[in-house]
Amino acid sequence: MKLEEIKEIAQRFNIKTGKLKKAELVRAIQNAEGNELCFETGTADGCGQNTCLWREACA
């Protein structure tokens, strides 16, 4: 997913995108959704969020 698409999703959650990097934005969205903040933390195999929107990019 492109950064601009991620920023659009973040804006739906009223997250200020500013100069946040991709991983920071995704984790902010995960937080707003009430999910574990696991994007690009190396825990994709054990996070249990198999239907996560970010699953493919996380590995």
The reported pLDDT for the residue numbered 14 is 96
The reported pLDDT for the residue numbered 35 is 84
The reported pLDDT for the residue numbered 59 is 63
The reported pLDDT for the residue numbered 25 is 95
**pLDDT per residue rounded down to tens, the chain (59 residues):** 899 999 999 999 999 999 999 999 999 999 998 888 889 888 877 887 777 888 888 76
Start-to-end Cα distance in the chain: 14
In whole angstroms, give the CA distance from residue 4 to residue 40. 18
